[in-house]
Every structure is written in C-alpha cells, then in structure tokens.
Amino acid sequence: MSDVQKNNGFSWWQIEWLVVATISVAGVLVWLHRPVRAVAEAPTKAQSVSVQTAVAARMNVPQYLEGLGTVQAFNTVTITSRVEGQLQSVAFTEGQEVKQGDLLAQIDQRPYQAALDLATATKAKDDAQLENARHDLSRYLILQPKNLTSKQTLDTQKSLVAQLEAQVKADQANIDSAKTQLDYTSIKSPISGRTGVRLVDVGNNVHSTGSTGIVVVTQMQPISLLLTLPEDVLAQVNQAMAAGPVGVAAISRDGTTTLDKGALLLVDNQIDQTTGTIRLKATFPNAKNTLWPGQFVNARLLLQVQHHVLTIPAAAAQRGPDGIFTYVVKPDSTVEVRPLKTNGAEVDGAILVEGGLIEGEHVVISNQYRLQPGVMVSEEEKTKPASTGDSPK
C-alpha cells in the first residue's frame, strides 16, 4: 500500500465497497417507497363502486286493492222470432254496431197481412150491422110510448145492439193482434250493441218456439266487470264507498296497460263460503271497446290516497335476515345499511317508508350486491322515486 492509502485509514477497495453499498441502499429505499404509495392509493380505487341512487321524497300514494276480474256485458239479447215464417232477408252484418230499433231481419209478411185484412173486413161488416141495429132501436123507442111495438121487441133490439157493440170491440182487438203479428215479422234490435255471428241463413223457416235465435246482440257501452276480493277487505271497501265514488281500473293481464277506468257499482249481498271471497261489480264506459265480454283482466280498486308520505323506489329496498333494509349514501360517499319500516305494499314501483329514513337522503338502487357497510361509492345518477300513477277516479 501507498503512504496515502495508509494515512487516510481506508484502502481503495473499502471505499469502493462503501460507494456500492450506498447506491444499493438508495435503490432499495426508492423501490420500497413506490409500492407503499401505490398500495396506499389502491384501496380507494378498489372500493369505489359505481351505483345509481334515488332521493327519498314525499308524494301522494294511492292505496289499492287488486283482484282478478271478468268482463261481463251490460245486456245480452238472443234475437229470436216471435212469429213463424220464412226468413226473407237479414239486414245486419256480423259484428256490426246497431242501435235500438234498427231492423235486423225480415220474415215473410204475406200470411200476417192477409190476417190483418180479414180482421179489418170483419170489423167493417159488424160495424154496418151495428149501425143498422141502432137505427132499428131508435124506431122502436119512438113507437113504444104509443104502444105500436111490444116491450119484448124493444128489449130484444137493445140486446142485439149490445151484442154487436161487443162484437165490434172484439173485431178491433183482432185487428190490433193482427197488426202486432205483422209487426213481429220485422225483427228489430231491442238494445244498442254489437251483433255476433249469424245463427240462421236466409230461406230457413223460423219458429217462435225455437231457442237457437237469429243473432246475439251484446251491449258494449257501458260494460260491467265482476271481480272477487278476500272477505277480509269487505269493511275497507264499504268504508270507501260510504265516503264517495270508488274508482276501479281494468288492467291487462300482463299489468302493462290500463284498458279503462270506471267506478264500483255494488258489493254482493253475500260472501262465498267455499272460497271466503266477496264479489263486486264495477261499471266502465268502454268508449274505445277495449273491454270485451268474457275477457279476464286485473282489477285495481282505489281505496284511498295517502298524502305527503315518504317513498323510495322499490329497487332500493333489500330483504335480509332481519327484515327490509336499504343502502344509504352518507356525506363522505360511503354507504351504511339502514333498516326500514314499511307496510310491504308496492305501488307503481314505489314503496311507502314508515320509518328508518329522512326526506332527502340518497338510497342506492343498483349494484347492491357489491356493497358492504363503509364501502365508498360514486353516484352515477340521482332520481326521484317512481311515480305512483294516476288515480282510477
């Protein structure tokens, strides 16, 4: 070694080793510092869940009762002939809308016209005989005070006049009957409605005792709906009817379309003991013929409207071991589990919250399966609770 190396107390190889060691330690520290910072940032990004939220808001919520209903025609008439004869013509088209008094079919009139002519002629003959008998009676009444005719002859003439008067009245009754029978040959609709399939063809003989009929006319406007509800709701329905008209909506079986809106007409006067249900009848204007006799529909009966109650979308409500709960977004963008008190009813996509929430709080309506208490979320969209729709009234 040189004197310089010895005087400094370090050899060159020791100095080189210290430099290498220093560089290595610095590199390790840099390498360790970067992962620590990355790990510190990783949990925030991994735990941030993108969700949609809604605002707990107050609105008017209707209270409904729902049941299965069957559409029933207000009136259904099987058109039959009241006289016998050959069907000469049909004046309607199958499926046609007809008015009360419209001609539907025509039966051969000739036999009934002849009967009317005969009754008219018979009355004319009896009228002439009565007129002559009255003249004779007038003469006898003049001669009797002078004893120029017997009292028996006078009485006989009075009796003859009375008989002829009765005969003339009978003749008039026969004329009226013949006119009625003749009028029956023109078959007219007794109600306004829609015709069905023609049941007899032109040229066939129809009979007054036949049960087949010519066509069935069904009244479509207005139209009725028979629905059944559990007997337990009878008191609520009677209370609603006592308060005023009760609205009823007829809804398609898939629940997507309101076919018509009407009013409850009556509650049946007895409960079906075999099923424990009560029948109700509602009436609908059916202006667009959306309801058809025999059709099955869902009936929604409006009992009352609860005003200014707190609601959230039904999608926000989750069911757990301890009951219904929802995820609430706190001001620091983390979520907490909030137990809810509800009546379990859902109306048009919204549920009524009786306890557990405050108006204005944000509840999660999507991606709940990814959430846990304390998880950070990012809100994509804030929406109001689903609308409860229009009242059937």
Token pair for 303: 């009992």
Alpha-carbon distances of 96 from 68, 106, 215, 290, rounded to whole Å: 30, 17, 11, 16
Q: Are residues 230 and 158 in the same domain?
A: no
* Number of domains composing the chain: 2
CATH code (residue 255): 2.40.30.170
Q: How far is CA 296 from CA 180, 261, 303, in A?
A: 42, 15, 22
pLDDT at 117: 96
Instruction: Give the distance from CA 372 to its chain's centroid.
Output: 43
Task: Look at residues 201, 216, 231 and tell me which one is the last residue of a structural domain.
Answer: 216
Q: Quick check: helix, strand or coil at residue 349?
A: coil
Model confidence, pTM: 0.65
Helical (H) or strand (E) element with 159: helix 151-184
| pLDDT tens for each residue of 356-375 | 899 889 999 998 888 889 89
2 inside domain: no
Q: Is residue 17 part of a domain?
A: no
Structure tokens at 189: 């609709």
Same domain for 245 and 386? yes
- Answer yes or no: is 186 within a domain: yes
pLDDT tens for the 393 residues of the chain, in order:
444 444 444 455 566 666 666 666 666 555 555 544 434 343 444 558 899 999 998 888 888 889 999 999 989 999 999 999 999 999 999 999 999 999 999 999 999 999 999 999 999 999 999 999 999 889 888 887 877 778 888 889 899 999 999 999 999 999 999 999 999 999 999 999 999 999 999 999 999 888 789 999 999 999 999 999 999 999 999 999 998 999 999 999 988 899 999 999 999 999 999 999 999 999 999 999 999 999 999 999 998 888 888 888 988 889 888 889 999 999 998 999 999 998 767 777 888 888 889 988 999 999 888 888 989 998 886 665 555 554 444
End-of-domain residue from the set 216, 242, 262: 216
| Co-location of 127 and 188 in the same domain | yes
CATH number at residue 185: 2.40.50.100
In terms of domains, do 266 and 204 share one? no
Domain stops at, among 175, 193, 216: 216
Residues 6+ apart with CB under 8 A from 227: 67, 68, 69, 70, 248, 279, 280, 281, 282, 299, 301
Please check whether residues 209 and 227 belong to one and the same domain: no
| Whether residues 322 and 244 fall in one domain | yes
pLDDT at 16: 64
Angle, helices 110-143 vs 151-184, to 10°: value is 160
Residue 11 domain flag: no
Q: What pLDDT, on a 0 to 100 scale, did the predictor assign at position 115?
A: 95
| Cβ(214)–Cβ(104) below 8 Å | yes
Range of the domain at 154: 76-216
* Structure confidence at residue 1 (pLDDT): 43
Say if residue 123 is in the same domain as residue 232.
no
Beta 49-55 vs 377-383: how paired, if at all?
A: parallel
Whether 136 is in a domain gets the answer yes
Are residues 211 and 91 located together in one domain of the fold? yes
Of 312, 385, 321, which is closest to residue 354 (Cα–Cα)? Answer: 312
- Same domain, yes or no: 236 and 317: yes
Same domain, 226 and 366: yes
Q: What is the pLDDT of residue 33?
A: 55
